Structure 1
């Protein structure tokens, strides 16, 4: 006995202290009598579920209290989380929380005889659920937060008291409930308990808010991990590296003329005119000039002022340095760098983005609003964009930059570019100044640059230097680039005579200079000329900058003995290209070099040699060459993939797989290319790998449409040959397998990881289901819905019968089947399938999880199709309430559009139009005006106007939709043909002759594309017959 006491004493100090949840439970258990504890202690969660189901069956026939399980499910989930935490901490048998399950079951049993009182009870439970369902994500996140856990424990305690009160009331009142006012009775019985619960949930909400604020600071102070996370999310371009590189080209005192210019000084000081556009021709030194501006602003900052300079260098040499999102992300990263502590607005934006499974900043994260918020924390922010004309979409970038500048007086914007008329028009409505660089402005800077460079030439004496300076100064005429090219040519001079000959015979102007350089290329050997052309072809036509390893692999395909030395390649192509050692890439010294090399005149084309060395060349020929290299490389790599000794030849595989089709559809048809394409696609494993990359590996919004469009482009390209249509270009059936493969791979990944085993961002639920949605439409258009139903049903069966079956992993297949059933017009079955999915998600994920909300929205669509319009609106509003706080604008827009369709069905076209316009505003910002989803919403507005009898306005919107689909999808697309039908249907009201022509145009296209028996073709034919009958009666009358 003494020994046991000693052991107990030895162990005692290591016993963990009771946690708040345990304390709250023991406090509640103390209020129960011995008999109650004995009555409840063996009840399990499953017993409660069984009782709910029994009660639901009983009530369904005669009561308004229906769908009890879905209504109290979130409440039970809340209790189950409490139970798991408590039972895990105590490890006792029977488990303590059995008391709670027994209490819940008892409440349901004794209340089942009083349906009206039960309805009020369930309504109260729903109110509690609305409060507590929000805490699921915080319970794990704030596990170690003592004050949060204490507040949470109070909420749990109040919930248990509420249940015990309910059981006591039902047990004591019995039949007396039938004779009293139910609502007043309930309020009196539970008033104090519910007030306590409300008070404690408010305290808990305050603790969450406080802990979030604290966590923001803690997370930032926990860098470098936090800073690295934000940096990965932004993935900014290295603008600082660009700045340093260009600064090194500048003579220190250059650019003073600009800093003294009255327009620049006005831009620095004016409150009203905070936009300055510096315009200059190619090669006038705008990029180097930008470094003077940046340096001037940085050095003139007062130590007590909060000022920031954010800049970006657009470049056609780099895809990352061209996109709008990359520009905005880079500006954000530079502004953030001004703060010692990360501003809270940044972390909130990051958290919202990652919560929506976006591993990178996107337009859905509202980067413009983030920049505006950050600038509001500073006294002044200077934004400088160099080379705007080289951006992927200059108009879009300028629109966003102008919006930023107009959003707050703390922002000043300076843009440097060539003079583009469309940019001039866009700037017209904003206060701005234009400073046009003239040759006299830069003459002094060019003279300093020439003097500096001539001093580095060892063979130049004073007299010769003066002669050279005079020639260069006069010939430059404001062109830094011309002077720089000529100075580089001088470095190859072998004597004083040779140097003077180069200067005397060097042409004036960039085009003539480039021609002279190409003439020098022709003096080299044929082998060197061919190598130079292949090299420059990649420089001109590659979809992105290629590294030296990729480039040498590309140049070696079929010519292993011709792999060049890096230094030799630079010497051969000098002075047109430069090498960036930090990135290990080559690039043109100026964008005008690429433009010149691709500017093939008819005269040049007639004289073009056929030995592969001629320059300039057609861009289509460049794409043909690269497509040939990519396909040949992929086929060779497939043959040798088991030979480890040849791994050195595979550095081009990633580029080749990503872009062979990009180059092929931009090339001229060649039988050899056609044969290689079909050989590559003939292997199903290769084909699946490539399609998966197109679906989930490339930056594309709703990528199945991109894939289908690419398939059509390849088919059109191949149609120029004699080959019959090959089924290997019909990839829809492959997408099915890819979706299953993606699911299987991700099930093996870490749950919390944002990337798969290859480091690529995981496929989000929204991405996967949007592919399924578009896939179902492709099934519909090709009359293959039965095929889609078969594979999904079979996949679901296998998943459900698997020994490792995970209920949650079946949900995406249930969602997918629901979409297919809807397309098959099996709407009741579609709705019940989505309801099954929703029940699983609410059980495992909670009511506010993004995946749950996706299904809620889908059910809203199903209910609309079933004409259950109020239920449809309710589901969409529920989804909208969650999504509008999540920052996921694309899903918000999608929800607004589906909600608008429900309002139209309800007979409220005015509200429907308003919701559609809200959605379009978001979608145009994120996707562009011609995106299919924007065009769908535009057509929907047209339908709303038609419902109101406003046929002219309706037709206008349908024409906008039709014109957009013609541009984006082409005339041979199902959606374009249906847009013609939509327009005709409205035009019938005021011009039946025009309407018949439109229907006939649609019928011709549908017959060719879909066949004579397709339902769309049949509908159009019937519509024409109906219209002709009406016209006949009108003529007869």
Structure 2
């Protein structure tokens, strides 16, 4: 990275250039009126017609769905509603959108509407005013809470119309909560309240929205539907190219005939013809241009290829490289990057300062990109799809293949974080100055490992990663400062936990992903190097804090907590974590400085968790009972919810099912208030409660509580839908419920999913993996596979003893199982 690579805030703005890429197109007058003739639309629009609450308008890419949605909004907003108070909510999705942003927008629109009753206005206002969990919990996914607030006020409205365009354009599931199916939730809500709710979705013809709207009315957008609109659109485009005036009528007819309802194809075709138009209208030129009309590429993909080929002929080698760099970041970044971030990313990759990226991007990418709100985007979603498909001809003119693109991005981000400016960060991370001087720091800190895990195999990248971790400067600043600071903003799934637990859980998951990028023997060597570096670094942090601030300072306590977290992930040092936590507990019990009470809560939570892992359930119970009676913990403090949930689990392990039920029901209620009634955190308490109810013989109630998780497991097994991150721990509990119900094969299959996931993330020697393997062995035995169970237990026992010690309850259980088999 060049010496000035950090300071690029002013490098992306420059003289204004052509406006094609800078603004959204507007719908042309007198277009889209064909929808008014559709019976399904008229039925949906009729607020008295409760038989048509959901309408799906769908069609191929670039058929004018967004403009049609704009027209529909104008149409329904013009209507006189009489005595009925009608609310219209709308949202146009793009790559920045999430289910949470859609729902948040709806709540804001409702607050601005006269249709909202005072009671519901108070509900939304109170929701907005609630203090969200802060640095004590990571992260807070507001989606489920937003859904609770939104769905609770809908039934009270006289009538509401919900119009959404482009739900299919939300980012990929790898960067979204895969458990939240917004199309299905909205469709179910509309059907449940058909007397007051009308839902219109406009999208491409994709499976998840087809599934959500099954049985509802739909209107396909066809070439015949938009023929008149497209002709007017082509005429408007031709007016922008005076050079085509002599052939205007023939061009319009040819493009209209071949476009098949595709507006983007029409735009690109007109521009291609304008570039090829002769300078004179001689007979020879006319004959030549007639051949051009006949040779327009037939498909949108072929037309995109033609545009890229034309570009390649007119660009220098360095311009082609810049174009491909821009397209790579647009296509494969976890979230859209600002112009400033993109400029810095390209600066790092090419080691060259990009003067006025906005103007240069338009110059090298031409009509293929647009700039909206300071973000570079593909001109249309169809371009993204084209670039992500595997075209043999595309490889000749582009370098944007998924594996190689993630490789280049990963190399750039590692290089960025390895820059000397990150060897000792002096600026406060929360200052206004830091993002100005380090604009790519947030993205690099959060997502460099993601890009490594998606990169093509490359020994040079391995070497860069190894070098990054071999020097205890930059990687320490990343792991100890940058990552925890930016983690609440991550787009990737992070199971919610108390702050320090979430922070180190995520760090060690990232470590596992990096290790997986290596091959043996480098894989084991790299894993050992990183683990040793982490351990030695945090041991030195404890020593430094004790020396600099005093052995009984709050900073020393914080560092003891950090070290205990690190030890908890290292099988060889796992037993040493308890000593650090006990020391921290002793120090904090006599501390009187500001901040000591809150830090004491964190210490108590960590100590209780360690006792739980060690099987010392009585000790954990004693600490947790003290925590839930702490006056500093309000009912809406996530730490209170975590403590009560843990106490319920401990009570279950101690055999006190009545107390466990009470605690877990309270935890479920608190989780619903903090995270939402259907959030993964609430599901966690539900599933543990289901296990307790099963032990109490209340199987029907247990079954109802597990329905969501069983559906996730079915979709994962049958359709390959990724499981939400936190579902794996819940599946462990679901396996126990299957065992109670004597559904041993279901339990066996469930535990196999858990074991595979935990081996992949934590390795074969971690306590979480060992616990899941033990349960799998029991399920194998119960399902009739005695030999499989015996082999598993014989392999498991020595690893358990090494990691947990001879006196751990799980070790005793496995020994007993083996004795009974002989």
The change in CA–CA distance for 1:335 and 1:637 in structure 2 (over 3 A counts) is farther
Task: Deviation per CA, 1:215-264: give whole Å up to 9, x if none.
Answer: xxxxxxxxxxxxxxxxxxxxxxxxxxxxx965x43211111112212221
Return the alpha-carbon distance in structure 1 between the equivalents of residues 419 and 598 of structure 2: 42
Of the structure 1 ranges 378-387 and 867-876, higher mean CA displacement relative to structure 2 is found in 867-876
**1:267 aligned counterpart, secondary structure:** helix
Q: Does 1:793 align with 2:582?
A: yes
Instruction: Note if 1:672 corresponds to 2:460.
Output: yes
CA RMSD in angstroms comes to 4.4
Alignment counterpart, residue 38 of structure 2, candidates 258, 261, 271: 261
Could you say which residue in structure 1 is the equivalent of 2:29? 252
> Does the residue aligned with 2:254 lie in a helix, a strand or coil?
helix
Between 1:349-358 and 1:384-393, the stretch displaced more is 349-358
* Residue 595 (structure 2) pairs with residue 811 (structure 1): no
Q: Give deviations 1:976-1017, integer Å, cap 9, x for gaps.
A: 6644543442443452xx242255357658878996997799
CA shift in 2, pair 1:791/1:352, >3 Å = farther
Question: Are the aligned partners of 2:661 and 2:693 in contact in 1 as well (CA < 8 Å)?
Answer: yes
Residue 419 to residue 636, structure 1, CA distance change in 2 (3 Å)? same
1:783–1:864: structure 2 CA closer, same or farther, 3 Å change rule? farther
Partner residue of 2:240? Answer: 456
The residue aligned with 2:107 is 332
Select between 389-398 and 628-637 the one with higher mean Cα deviation.
Answer: 389-398
Question: For 2:449, which of 633, 653, 661 is the aligned residue?
Answer: 661
- Work out the CA distance in 2 between the residues paired with 1:482 and 1:297: 30
SS in 1 for 2:334: coil
**Does structure 1 retain, via aligned residues, the 8 Å contact 2:103–2:143?**
no
Partner of 2:479: 687
Question: 1:75-105: CA deviations, max 9, x gaps?
Answer: xxxxxxxxxxxxxxxxxxxxxxxxxxxxxxx
Structure 2: distance between partners of 1:552 and 1:877: 51
Give the whole-Å Cα distance in 2 for the aligned partners of 1:496 and 1:1023.
92
The 8 Å contact of residues 598 and 616 in structure 1, kept in 2 or not, is answered as: no
CA contact (8 A) 1:280 1:418 kept: yes
Cα offset for 1:396?
1.4
Structure 1, 872-881 or 328-337: larger mean CA deviation? 872-881
Q: How does 1:838-857 map to 2 (within 5 A)?
A: 838-839=628-629, 841-842=630-631, 844=632, 851-852=639-640, 854-857=642-645
Structure (1 or 2) with the greater helix fraction? 1
CA 587–1007 in structure 1, closer or farther in 2 if over 3 Å, else same: farther
Q: Is the 8 A contact 2:414 2:465 kept in 1?
A: yes
Choose the corresponding residue for 2:167, options 366, 370, 388.
388
Question: What residue is the counterpart of 2:64 in the other structure?
Answer: 285
Contact 1:883 1:892 in 2 (8 A): yes
2:309 is matched with which residue: 519, 526, 529?
519
Partner of 2:389: 599
Asked whether 1:725 is paired with 2:526, we answer yes
Residue of structure 1 aligned with 2:400, choices 611, 617, 620: 617
Corresponding residue SS for 2:418? helix
Query: What TM-score comes out, normalization by structure 2 length?
Result: 0.77
Instruction: Specify the alignment match of 2:509 in structure 1.
Output: 709
Q: Deviations over 1:120-162 (max 9, x none)?
A: xxxxxxxxxxxxxxxxxxxxxxxxxxxxxxxxxxxxxxxxxxx
Distance 1:887 1:530, change over 3 A: closer
CA contact (8 A) 1:255 1:289 kept: yes
Aligned-pair distance for 1:789?
1.4
1:785, 1:824 within 8 Å by CA — same for their partners in 2?
no
Q: Render the CA deviation track for 1:601-646: whole Å, top value 9, x for unaligned.
A: 46766xx5xxxxx415311111111111222222235269899999
CA distance, structure 2, for counterparts of residue 913 and residue 990 of structure 1: 22
Asked if the contact 1:308–1:338 (Cα under 8 Å) also holds between the matched residues in 2, the reply is: yes
Are residue 484 (structure 1) and residue 259 (structure 2) matched? no
Alignment match, 1:294? 73
Cα distance in 1, alignment partners of residues 615 and 698 from structure 2: 25
Deviation (angstroms), 1:526: 1.2
Q: Deviations over 1:5-41 (max 9, x none)?
A: xxxxxxxxxxxxxxxxxxxxxxxxxxxxxxxxxxxxx
User: Structure 1 residues 342 and 503 mapped into 2: Cα distance closer, same or farther (>3 Å)?
Assistant: farther
Runs of 5+ consecutive residues of structure 1 not aligned to the other structure? 1-243, 609-613, 745-767, 1030-1037
Residue 176 of structure 1 corresponds to none
Preserved CA contact (<8 Å) 1:314 1:386? yes
CA deviations on 1:637-660 (whole Å, 9 max, x unpaired) are 526989999997632222222221
Distance of 2:225 and 2:305 partners within structure 1: 28
Equivalent residue for 2:202? 416
Q: Which of residues 698, 702, 723 is equivalent to 1:930?
A: 723
Q: 1:467 aligns with which of 239, 244, 250?
A: 250
Task: Give yes or no for the alignment of 1:446 onto 2:230.
Answer: yes
- Residues 902 and 733 (structure 1 numbering): CA distance in 2 closer, same or farther, change over 3 Å? farther
- Going from structure 1 to structure 2, the CA distance change for 1:638 and 1:774 (only over 3 Å counts) comes to closer
Change (3 A) 1:1009 1:514: farther
Task: Evaluate the alpha carbon distance shift between residue 495 and residue 1027 of structure 1 in structure 2; reply closer, same or farther with a 3 A threshold.
Answer: farther
5 Å matches for 1:82-481? 248-269=25-46, 270-302=49-81, 304-315=83-94, 318=95, 320-321=96-97, 323-339=98-114, 343-348=118-123, 351=126, 355=130, 357-358=132-133, 362=141, 365-391=144-170, 392=172, 396-409=181-194, 410-428=196-214, 431-461=215-245, 463-481=246-264
In 1, the alpha carbon distance for the partners of 2:206 and 2:130 equals 41
Provide closer, same or farther for how the CA distance between residues 717 and 413 of structure 1 changes in structure 2, counting only shifts above 3 A. Answer: same
Q: Is the 8 A contact 1:916 1:941 kept in 2?
A: no
Aligned to 2:706: 917
Residue 425 of structure 2 corresponds to residue 632 of structure 1: no
Task: Choose which of 985, 997, 1001 in structure 1 pairs with 2:778.
Answer: 985
Structure 1-normalised TM-score?
0.62
CA 1:276/1:604 → structure 2, altered by over 3 Å: closer, same or farther? closer
Corresponding residue number in structure 2 for 1:698: 490
Q: Deviations over 1:757-810 (max 9, x none)?
A: xxxxxxxxxxx9xxx999879827825333221222233344345462644541
| Offset, 1:481 | 0.9
Assess if the C-alpha contact under 8 Å between 2:797 and 2:815 holds in 1.
no
Using the TM superposition, give the Cα deviation of residue 293 of structure 1 relative to its aligned residue in structure 2, in angstroms.
1.2
Are positions 1:782 and 2:571 aligned together? Answer: yes
Q: Partners in 1 of 2:455 and 2:636 — Cα distance?
A: 49
In structure 2, stretches of 5+ residues that fail to align are 1-21, 428-432, 497-501, 547-557
Secondary structure of 1:441's partner?
coil
Question: 2 CA distance for matches of 1:883 and 1:516?
Answer: 55
Which SS does the other structure have where 1:930 is aligned? Answer: coil
Deviations 1:542-579 (CA, angstroms, capped at 9, x unpaired): 12111112222222224325545522320321121112
State the match for 1:74 in structure 2.
none
Indicate conservation of the 8 Å contact 2:688/2:733, yes or no: no
Partners in 2 of 1:343 and 1:827 — Cα distance? 49
For 2:526, what is the secondary structure of its paired residue? coil
Bigger Cα displacement from structure 2, 808-817 vs 417-426: 417-426
Instruction: Give the conservation status (yes or no) of the 8 Å contact 1:438–1:478.
Output: yes
**SS of match in other structure, 1:302:** coil
Shift of residue 452, structure 1, vs aligned partner:
1.8
Q: Looking at CA atoms only, which structure, 1 or 2, has the larger radius of gyration?
A: 1
Question: CA shift at 1:407, angstroms?
Answer: 2.3
Q: Secondary structure at the match of 1:413?
A: strand
Equivalent residue number for residue 161 of structure 1? none
Aligned-partner Cα distance in 2 for 1:405–1:778: 51
Distance in 1 of aligned mates of 2:481 and 2:45: 54
2:359 is aligned to 567
In structure 2, what is the Cα distance between the partners aligned to 1:312 and 1:347? 23
1:867-908 per-residue CA deviation (whole Å, 9 max, x = no partner) reads 455544454556567667777545654444444555556x44
